[in-house]
């Protein structure tokens, strides 16, 4: 069990945890939720031991292996498959030692341990995890340095999953994943055999994976049974009950206090007044219900324009002449449109958005825009280009040079920036605050179309709910690229799938789309089995041929080493047996005892050593033989 016992932790004079406690059973999957800045990521580091507590303790079993995704993105000339395989440190160390080990006994020990940890199947398992996270066979053989940051973070996640720690700590694991790979991750974590502590703002992931929710608020931890939806209902009910109990207690106290004030100095009522005072002391205190800070999103409404706002007519778009990413695009946008673009990463969703913004010109076909059209484009890389030394007020004043300061402040206030908050350095803002500042920037002139590319990556669940409300209240058109199915379900009324070099309307809702992805994955696996001559009833085929060849090569090498260890053990046993026979004959000779009495004690000691060595050699030979028999049976 993971026990968080009365922990205290301070950072920069701010108390993040104040006597917080929680108990998580072994094998339990827990979602850790709370507002941005509450300390969720810090708690994972405290559990992992990379930060030191100011008080309290985090307790778990002595041999519990703790794993988390490395913060540094993998890079270099290694392949994703090699990087993931290296995450099993014991396997990697044993294989390296096997190459140089000379002692026959140690060689046998190494290969027996490799068999115990399933080293032979490791390449296949690593390739399967990478495939689940979107890596094709050819991608698994590329160099890490050739991948973007998002893909390298997938490799880091794959390595952590492959290591299969007893306690798995995940901090926003789905941030860099498209919907296809999120579905795979949901299934993988649901079937995970160890304990999982998951920090996520992805409502769907928490609903599918989490068996309980730990809520972090005001330095305290509260455990709720069930998934996120159940937590949300229970949390609201508790707040209502607490508020009602507080009001009731205040009224009860007031009545008691009125009685005391009225009869305190009357001799006939003094005893009763004193009993009321004691009753008030026994009543205790119920804390008043503090309101949750609301996250502000309020998009200004644009002036109406006649339809269509924008039209794509058989448009091709791309980055290299003669090599369009998307072909034959046809799309009309009107003021009331809510369109979600779906599809795996790398299929061209962002390219389509850049065509709509005007950043990319069509290679063929036409793009027609209303002459007065204004477009607001949200992309995370735009927030990364902020002047970190400027303040929100300075930034917005530069974007609205002709507006009075009151108008600038009012617009910032639409997105939760209070008077004091507008004077904070942008570099000191959280990721969610920077996202809200970017929203303020792109909507400063009330655009007719909002193009939103992954707008929720740095928003917590409450902020996402506020964004949903703002989108639904907005009077302009919205084109949305997101891997958050909850956002799509509540905002989009049309789904377009970007794949195979085109963009096509999807007839159905998000449930239908999920079903289509599951069906597509099954068909892909079925084709892979068919190509390898496997039947549908057989186990799932190895993720790719290269991994299979590696696994076979390692299996042959392991069998060879085991046979070598068996042969060496046999020869050692034979030599020791001959030496023992000679030594016994010598010790039994009366003439030797008479003429070499001073050597007798030394030879007798050697006899005992040989007995021990023979027993050990016999044990190693038997283990090697058993391993060879298992290999033959397999």
- pTM greater than 0.75: no
- Asked if 119 and 95 count as a contact pair (C-beta separation under 8 A), the reply is yes
Instruction: Record the tokens describing residue 489, joined without a space.
Output: 């379900």
What pLDDT does residue 594 have?
63
On the CB side of 621, how many CA atoms lie within 13 Å of its CA?
A: 14
The residue ranges of every structural domain in the chain are 2-232, 310-507, 563-633
pLDDT at 510 over 80: yes
How are the residues of the chain apportioned to helix, strand and coil, as percentages rounded to the nearest 5? 50, 20, 30
Eight-state DSSP code of residue 347: S
Give me the phi and psi of 236, to 5 degrees please: -65, -40
What pLDDT does residue 533 have?
59
- Using CB atoms within 10 A of its CB, is residue 85 exposed (0-12), middle (13-18) or buried (19+)? buried
Q: How confident is the model at residue 547 (pLDDT cuts 50, 70, 90)?
A: low
190-199, 360-369, 412-421, 580-589: lowest mean pLDDT where?
580-589
How does pLDDT run across 16-48, given as a tens digit for each residue? 898 999 999 999 999 999 888 788 989 999 999
CB contact set of 37 (below 8 Å; sequence gap of 6+)? 430
Q: How far apart are CA 527 and CA 48, in angstroms?
A: 42
Q: How confident is the model at residue 354 (pLDDT cuts 50, 70, 90)?
A: very high
Most confident listed range (285-294, 357-366, 530-539, 603-612)? 357-366
Task: List the Cα angle 93/118/180 in 5-degree steps.
Answer: 100
- Asked if 5 and 56 count as a contact pair (C-beta separation under 8 A), the reply is yes
- Asked if 200 and 231 count as a contact pair (C-beta separation under 8 A), the reply is no
Domain 310-507: assigned CATH number: 3.40.50.300
- Asked if 137 and 544 count as a contact pair (C-beta separation under 8 A), the reply is yes
pLDDT at 571 over 60: yes
Domain 563-633 classified CATH 1.10.287? yes
% of the chain with per-residue pLDDT over 70:
84
Considering only residues 93 and 185, tell me which one the structure prediction assigns the higher pLDDT.
Answer: 185
Do the domains spanning 2-232 and 310-507 agree at the CATH topology level? yes
| 31 alpha-carbon distance from chain centroid | 11
Domain 2-232: assigned CATH number: 3.40.50.300
pLDDT at 543 over 60: no
């Amino acid at each position: 069990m993971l026990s968080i016992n009365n922990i205290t932790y301070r950072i920069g004079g701010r108390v993040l945890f104040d006597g917080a406690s929680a108990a998580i059973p072994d094998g339990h999957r827990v979602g850790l939720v709370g507002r941005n800045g509450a300390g969720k990521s810090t708690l994972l580091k405290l559990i992992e031991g990379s930060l030191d507590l100011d008080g309290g303790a985090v307790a778990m079993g002595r041999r519990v292996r703790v794993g988390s995704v490395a913060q540094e993105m993998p890079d270099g000339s290694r392949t994703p498959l090699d990087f993931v395989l290296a995450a099993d440190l014991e396997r990697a160390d044993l294989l390296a030692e096997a190459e140089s080990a000379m002692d026959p006994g140690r060689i046998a020990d190494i290969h027996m341990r490799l068999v115990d940890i399933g080293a032979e199947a490791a390449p296949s398992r690593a390739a399967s995890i990478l495939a689940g996270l979107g890596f094709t066979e050819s991608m698994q053989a590329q160099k890490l340095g050739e991948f973007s940051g998002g893909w390298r973070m997938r490799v880091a996640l794959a390595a952590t999953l492959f290591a299969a720690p007893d306690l798995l700590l995940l901090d926003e694991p789905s941030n860099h994943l498209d919907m296809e790979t999120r579905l795979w991750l949901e299934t993988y974590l649901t079937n995970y055999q160890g304990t999982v502590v998951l920090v996520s703002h992805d409502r769907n992931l928490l609903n599918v994976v989490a068996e309980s929710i730990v809520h972090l608020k005001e330095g305290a931890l509260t455990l709720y049974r069930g998934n996120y939806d159940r937590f949300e209902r229970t949390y609201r009910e508790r707040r209502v009950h607490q508020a009602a109990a507080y009001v009731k207690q205040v009224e009860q106290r007031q009545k008691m206090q009125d009685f005391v004030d009225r009869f305190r100095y009357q001799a006939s009522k003094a005893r009763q007044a004193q009993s009321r005072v004691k009753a008030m002391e026994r009543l205790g205190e119920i804390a008043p219900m503090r309101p949750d800070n609301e996250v502000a999103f309020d998009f200004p409404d644009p002036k109406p324009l006649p339809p269509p706002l924008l039209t794509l007519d058989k448009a091709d778009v791309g980055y290299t002449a003669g090599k369009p990413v998307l072909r034959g695009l046809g799309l009309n946008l009107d003021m009331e449109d809510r369109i979600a673009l779906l599809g795996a990463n790398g299929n061209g969703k962002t390219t389509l958005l850049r065509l709509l913004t005007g950043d990319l010109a069509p290679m063929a076909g036409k793009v027609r825009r209303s002459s007065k059209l204004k477009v607001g484009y949200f992309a995370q890389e735009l927030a990364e280009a902020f002047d970190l030394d400027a303040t929100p007020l300075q930034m917005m004043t530069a974007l609205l040079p002709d507006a009075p300061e009151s108008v600038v402040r009012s617009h910032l206030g639409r997105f939760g920036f209070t008077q004091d908050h507008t004077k904070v350095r942008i570099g000191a803002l959280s990721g969610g605050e920077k996202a809200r500042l970017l929203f303020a920037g792109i909507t400063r002139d009330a655009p007719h179309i909002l193009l939103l590319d992954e707008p929720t990556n740095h928003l917590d669940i409450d902020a996402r709910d506020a964004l949903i409300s703002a989108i639904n209240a907005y009077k302009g058109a919205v084109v949305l690229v997101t891997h958050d199915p909850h956002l799509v379900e509540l905002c989009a009324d049309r789904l377009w799938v970007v794949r195979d070099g085109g963009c096509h309307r999807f007839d159905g809702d998000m449930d239908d789309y999920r079903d289509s992805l599951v069906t597509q994955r099954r068909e892909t696996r079925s084709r892979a089995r068919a190509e390898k001559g496997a039947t549908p009833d057989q186990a799932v085929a190895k993720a790719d041929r290269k991994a299979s060849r590696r696994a076979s090569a390692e299996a042959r090498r392991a069998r060879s080493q085991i046979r070598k260890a068996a042969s060496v053990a046999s020869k050692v046993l034979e030599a020791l047996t001959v030496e023992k026979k000679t030594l016994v004959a010598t010790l039994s000779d009366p003439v030797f005892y008479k003429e070499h009495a001073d050597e007798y004690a030394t030879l007798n000691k050697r006899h005992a050593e040989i007995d021990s060595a023979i027993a050990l050699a016999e044990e190693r030979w038997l283990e090697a033989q058993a391993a060879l028999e298992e290999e033959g049976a397999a």
